[in-house]
Amino acid sequence: MVRTAFMRLLRRSVEIITPRRYDRSVYVRGATLAVGLLACCAAPAAMAQVNKPVDPNPLLWATVNVCDTTAHPDTIGIRASMPGTAKGRETMFMRFQAQYLSRQDDKWHNVSGEGDSGFLVAGRADVKARQKGRYIKIKPRTERVVLRGIVTFEWRLQGKVVRRAQRRTRKGHRSRAGADPPNYSAASCTIRR
């Protein structure tokens, strides 16, 4: 039974990766064995890659730097940093999105409306790094809401995206501006009604 399910899975994956212009029956037998061997050998390596960051650059980060303070009630502040590039000809963009943790399905969902900034110009890539931030005011519908931020980074050259990265907020980053209290950094924010 397990072997049959495993074989069905392999066949499905072969059908997906086999080009449609070729006769599938010619490739399925040899490809099934090859895919099976690759899956067995590559599985440990693939699992090791899951937790590896896409870009380990320490200048690429996002953090919560404001969380429901007296000066900023019912507000999450998201701050991010992105590195410049070697040539520095690109223009850098950041998109700030707030997400809330749903009690119903225990998953993160995007906050609608003002919870998405769209892409904002961060500046030219001719510097070591640039920071930008966004305050998002939330009106909790429940007694408390847990929030986090997702920041999408784009480097564009003549209007075309040449590089893209994404980070969710994490603690331990120092904002150059906007933190309340000063040097505040967290992965998430809880706002109470």
What are the pLDDT digits (tens) for 6-43? Answer: 444 444 433 333 333 333 333 334 444 344 444 444 54
Cβ contacts of 179 within 8 Å, gap of 6 or more: 65, 66, 77, 79, 185
What percentage of the chain reaches a pLDDT higher than 70?
A: 72
Q: In this predicted structure, what is the pLDDT of residue 141? A: 78
pLDDT band for position 176 (cuts 50, 70, 90): confident
105-109, 138-142, 155-159: which range is least confident on average?
138-142
Q: Give the tens place of pLDDT for each residue, 51-66.
A: 444 467 999 999 999 9
Answer with the residue of higher pLDDT: 170 or 112. 170
Instruction: Identify the bridge partners of residue 76 per DSSP, sorted by sequence position.
Output: 67, 136
The pLDDT value given to residue 174: 87
* pTM, full prediction: 0.70
In 28-83, where do the E strands start and end? 61-67, 75-83
**Residue whose pair of structure tokens reads 């070729």 in the numeric block:** 22
Strand duo 75-83 + 129-137: pairing: antiparallel
Q: What does the pLDDT read at residue 7? A: 44
| Side chain identity, residue 135 | Y
Does the domain at residues 61-192 carry the CATH identifier 2.60.40.10? yes
pLDDT at 55 (0 to 100): 60
Average confidence (pLDDT) over 86-92: 94
* Three-state secondary-structure class, residue 123: strand
Residues of the chain with CATH 2.60.40.10: 61-192
Tell whether the torsion through CA atoms of 172, 176, 181 and 182 is positive or negative. positive
